[in-house]
Structure 1
Amino acid sequence: MSGGDTSGPTPGGFGGFDFEELRKLLEQLGMSGAGDIDFSKLMEQFSRAQAAGGVGFGFTNADRDPDAAWRTTITSAKQLTQGLGPDPALTSSESHAIVDAERLAQSWLSAKTSFPETGVPPETLRREDWLDETSAGWREIVEPIMNGLAEALGRGAMAEDEPELGALTSMLAPMMKQSASLIYRDRLKKVLAEVAGSTLTGTEIGINLLPRARVTILPSNVAEFTRDLEIPEADVLLYLVLREAARIRLFHHVTWLGPQLNALLAHYAREIVIDFEAISSELDPSSLEQFSLEDIVAVGERVRGSFFKPASTETQLEILGRLELLLALIEGWVDHVTFRATEAWMPNAGSLSEVVRRRRAAGGPTKDVFSNLLGLDLRPRVVRDAENLWAAIEHERGAEGRDAVWQHPDLLPTAGHLADPLSYGKETSAEPEQDELDVELRKLLGDSGN
């Protein structure tokens, strides 16, 4: 570069930037202290930081490396689980009891569902081990959410409807995107620790995050769960193992189910909208130079309600509706098949079913995941409606006909069928009409519903 640019700030702005206009815009956004800022000096500071490699705000290289950031998140979650109480390895007799319960549960299930067992022996996991085993599965689900939040926050920082912010917002955009990821990961590690400390089986949250199709039990959590129940511990264990085995069979043999859930979550992430008014009201631009990671996390905690529950558009609400329906159909099927498998053999199966329903209504690990991370509340009534629907389908078609409904996503019941179970199957045989969301999901699934 020859000669260099020796021009400095002018009365009207820095390099053509109108600071008076910026001051007014920041005040309109509710950013406190906007009237006391020397914007010319602020822009010079940003320019120097940008020339030196970007505005860091205390971010380390590990914060910018997705792999390192994810390892840090899982490690932090594991550290939090250490304060949840004892989590010892099982004794030999306790391990044998779980193996025996799984063997019995599989024999009962085989008589009530057309989905065969996977043949993989059961496993028990301590809380930290469960986090390790599910780490890749969690990452596949939440990274699109984090990326969606980051992109939305970055787009907001660019303030397309206020082009006067140009230079400053383009400098802030990378920091805003990194901040979104940091805030979400801070919340995520806490949620993962909560789930690890409460989930009873590998797939109780309704999705399968484990790399192998096997029944998985978290004994320490089961022991805590059964402590105050007036039901024999062996019966509780058998019932939980049976529910887990049913869910594993479903996910293993319905190969489109996991990808469909992930596609819905990824599409939801792309539609995220951030409440910038809430965030901007917590940011003081006069202190940006000293803004730390702790400050960013603190902002996230103060606006968590609006930041982590952004569903508001028609498309978002439709996607969340489909997620709720699919999760309800999964849990309703598990409830129904478990009832059919235990009704002739377990006198206290009704009591155990009620315990599970109360646990679901109270929230538990499912609420931790879908409500706190996605803003989705799975209503217990919808799951009960789904169970009744599967019972009606079995009455009409038998167990094989009931399970055949899972052959393709287009065959699944709709929300309307939950309200009127007898209506399922009475429609014409014409191909179902596809809306724009169906087309988009097929693209995410590689045009394959199998």
Structure 2
Amino acid sequence: MDRQPVDWDLAVATARRLVRPGPQLTRAEADEVVTQLRTLAVDAERHVEDYTHLRPAAGAVTPIAVVDRPEWARSNVAGLRMVTTPLLDRLTDASRGSVSTAVGRRVTGVQLGSALAYLAGKVLGQYEVFLPPEEYGSTPTVAFTKNGEGPAAGDGQGPVGRLSLVAPNIAHAERQLGVVPRDFRLWVCLHEQTHRSQFTAVPWLRAHLESEIGAFIEATDLDPDVLADRLRSAVAALRGAVRDRGPEAPSVVEALQTPAQRAVLDRLQALMTLLEGHADQVMDAVGPKVVPTVADIRGKFDNRRSGGSPLDRFVRRLLGLDMKLRQYRQGGAFVRAVVAEVGVDGFNLVWQSPATLPTQAEIADPGAWMARVLGSRPPLTA
């Protein structure tokens, strides 16, 4: 019997059962979306590399998967299982198996599947960093090199992450926003290809992220009573969010942090803010050259991000998605400020080593990062 406190198969089944259907498309329309997304993903790779000057390591291949909502949920369960297994194994050992009761495993599986069903209708694309090796062949994917002819024979490195595009969500968003489909699809691809460039051109980045996740696991308090107390505190903190008392109510993730975890998560949040902000800045910097209607898209998309019903806003806060929106804004502002002052190559010094990554304080103060890493701080302007 699986000792882990999550029924992973039930999580997949729950997500597939609860996920809402995508927009109504004819077979020809669906085929057109999928075909164009694959083509534009390859085009976006070239545009991103030309702007960022980030070149993938030799032999690095990124499969491209154009998927539907249920498949996105399934692959994310596989990725979550891979990343969380060390922590869940420790929790199970610490509780001498009590966490892994049949009922508890099923409840957790249903909860995870329900959350992924919600997210499966929202996510446009994703660069999947952590996947089991078998996942690279489990879905219809297309792996391309720069010339679009496929991976060269004899490449020793193999897949480095996977770029997934959720076709029904992209089609739904472009209809809802009333934007030019081809332009919107390329704009989305620019964002995800920036993440691909980050992880394929910066050789230490994935290992650093894995190390930080490992540090988070080591900092986890495994006392079941302490965890239960913290969970009760998290529920109490979220009551204000249920009543929509303001944007500062914490997510479950934030409310459950220990002091030691908070230190690790501060570093992780700074890193993720940098990665998301960089992708946001690149899609807008490249956009005017290759996406004629980028200004219209950006304006409408930002309104969509910040809108939604009260229930939608509550769920976003509960799952910590408001944090991701802050990452786009804060990270984008940091990257734009640095690029404006020292150019793309000056900004790229951020990728030299983990020591040159910005802290959370430096994300809010780009000049402080430039003073520390570049040795100079630009004068303040009115």
Computing the radius of gyration over CA atoms, which structure comes out larger, 1 or 2?
Answer: 1
Amino acid in the other structure paired with 1:96: T
Q: Find the counterpart in structure 1 of residue 285 from structure 2.
A: 340
Residue ranges of structure 2 left out of the alignment (5+ in a row): 137-158, 233-249, 376-382
1:184 deviation in Å?
A: 3.0
Do 2:40 and 2:186's aligned partners in 1 also have CA atoms closer than 8 Å?
Answer: yes
Shift of 1:65: 4.8
Cα–Cα, structure 1 residues 81 and 277, in superposed 2: closer, same or farther, change >3 Å?
Answer: closer
Alignment of 1:175 with 2:74, yes or no, is no
Q: Deviations over 1:298-350 (max 9, x none)?
A: xxxxxxx9986652432122222222211111111101111221133434323
Cα separation, 2, equivalents of 1:368 and 1:200? 18
Matching residue of 1:199: 123
The alignment partner of 2:176 has SS state of coil
Contact 1:275 1:310 (C-alpha < 8 Å) held by counterparts: no
- Counterpart residue number, 2:176: 228
Distance 1:409 1:180, change over 3 A: farther
User: C-alpha displacement at 1:94, in angstroms?
Assistant: 3.3
Equivalent residue for 1:71?
9
Q: Distance in 2 between matches of 1:128 and 1:225?
A: 18
Q: TM-score, normalised by structure 1?
A: 0.59
Query: Which residue number corresponds to residue 113 of structure 2?
Result: 189
Equivalent pairs: percent with the same residue?
A: 22
Amino acid at match of 2:121: G
- Give the direction of change, closer, same or farther, for the CA distance of 1:414–1:232 in structure 2 (3 Å limit): same
Per-residue deviation, 1:112? 0.5
Which residue of the partner structure matches residue 168 of structure 1? none
Task: Name structure 1 gaps, 5 residues minimum.
Answer: 1-60, 155-172, 280-304, 431-450
RMSD: 4.0
Which whole-Å CA distance do the structure 1 matches of 2:302 and 2:257 have between them? 29
Decide which moves more: 80-89 or 383-392: 80-89
Secondary structure at 1:413's aligned position in 2?
Answer: coil
Name the structure with the higher strand share.
Answer: 2
User: Relative to structure 1, is the Cα distance of residues 251 and 88 closer, same or farther in structure 2, using a 3 angstrom cutoff?
Assistant: farther
CA deviations 1:270-311 (Å, max 9, x no partner) are 5244234977xxxxxxxxxxxxxxxxxxxxxxxxx9986652
Q: Deviations over 1:226-274 (max 9, x none)?
A: 2221311221111111111111121222343334334434443452442
Q: TM-score, normalised by structure 2?
A: 0.68
Q: Please tell me whether the aligned partners of residues 332 and 386 of structure 1 are also in contact (alpha carbons under 8 angstroms).
A: yes
* Counterparts of 1:188 and 1:391, CA distance in 2: 36
Mapped contact 2:6–2:105 kept (Cα < 8 A) = no
Amino acid at match of 1:72: L
Residues in 2 aligned to 1:391 and 1:362: alpha-carbon distance in whole angstroms = 24
CA distance in 2, matches of 1:247, 1:277: 34
Cα 1:306–1:359 change in 2 (3 A) is: closer
Deviation at 1:222, TM superposition (A): 1.1
Counterparts of 1:405-424 in structure 2, within 5 Å, are: 405-424=350-369
Confirm or deny that 1:116 pairs with 2:55.
yes
Q: Is the 8 A contact 1:105 1:241 kept in 2?
A: yes
Deviation string 1:123-172 (CA, Å, 9 cap, x unpaired) is 311223333444432212233454465467x3xxxxxxxxxxxxxxxxxx
Give the equivalent residue in structure 1 for 2:246.
none
1:245 and 2:193 aligned: yes
Partner of 2:37: 98
Whole-angstrom CA distance in 1 between matches of 2:365 and 2:118 = 37
After TM superposition, the structure 1 = structure 2 runs for residues 286-305 of structure 1, keeping only pairs within 5 Å, are: none
Q: Given residue 340 of structure 1, which amino acid in structure 2 is its aligned partner? A: A
In 2, Cα distance between equivalents of 1:67 and 1:88: 41
1:290-369 equivalences in 2 (<5 Å): 310-361=255-306
Partner-residue secondary structure (3-state), 1:112: helix
The answer for the alignment partner of 2:164 in structure 1 is 216
- Kept in 2, the 8 Å contact 1:236–1:352? The answer is yes
Any conservation in 2 of the 1:74–1:131 contact (CA below 8 Å)? Answer: yes
